[in-house]
């Protein structure tokens, strides 16, 4: 299966399309996000794994040399010091596949995003 041309229906299908090493890293990230946001809904959005809690929480994706993690602009700003060693953009960060995944940092970002989304949902009521 080719991750760039396949339309994925499930996260399991997405993850299984990658080489063994990337697959195991994607599974670790998935588990880390679930631990940080147990009440979030898991889905495929923009053809990549995503979690939603009232609204978009985080996305992640596998690439040839990195994992893309998409927590949004607020999280990138909040964790800018911890993320400074990684290539990042306005709402995303790249974690290289040849370095250990910063699972603790990912979990902290997810918890921050959960808090952000719950506060935003409360304000809407």
- pLDDT tens for 17-30 read 999 999 999 999 99
Dist. CA 67–CA 60, nearest whole Å: 7
Check if the beta carbon of residue 94 is closer than 8 Å to that of residue 66.
yes
Q: What are the tens digits of pLDDT across the range 49-76?
A: 999 999 999 999 999 999 999 999 999 9
Residue 109 has pLDDT above 50, yes or no: yes
Residue 15 has pLDDT above 60, yes or no: yes
b/e map 20-53, b = 16+ CB within 10 Å: eebeebbeebbebbeebbeebeeebeeebbbbbb
Domain segments of the chain as ranges? 11-124
Question: Which band of pLDDT confidence, cut at 50, 70 and 90, is reported for residue 1?
Answer: very low
Beta strands in the chain (DSSP E): 41-45, 48-53, 55-62, 66-70, 87-88, 93-96
Beta-sheet pairing, 55-62 with 66-70: antiparallel
Question: Which band of pLDDT confidence, cut at 50, 70 and 90, is reported for residue 122?
Answer: confident
**Phi and psi of 95, rounded to 5°?**
-105, 115
Q: Which fold has domain 11-124?
A: 3.90.1150
């Amino acid at each position: 299966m080719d991750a760039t041309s396949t339309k994925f229906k499930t996260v399991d299908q997405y993850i299984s399309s990658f080489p063994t090493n990337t697959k195991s890293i994607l599974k670790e990230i998935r588990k880390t996000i679930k631990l940080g946001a147990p009440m979030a809904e898991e889905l495929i959005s923009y053809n990549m794994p995503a979690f939603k809690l009232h609204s978009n929480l985080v996305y992640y994706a596998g690439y040839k040399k990195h994992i893309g993690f998409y927590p949004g602009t607020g999280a990138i700003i909040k964790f800018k010091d911890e993320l400074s060693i990684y290539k990042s953009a306005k709402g995303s960060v790249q974690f290289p596949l040849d370095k250990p995944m910063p699972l603790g940092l990912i979990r902290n970002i997810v918890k921050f995003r959960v808090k952000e989304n719950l506060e935003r949902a409360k304000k809407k009521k």
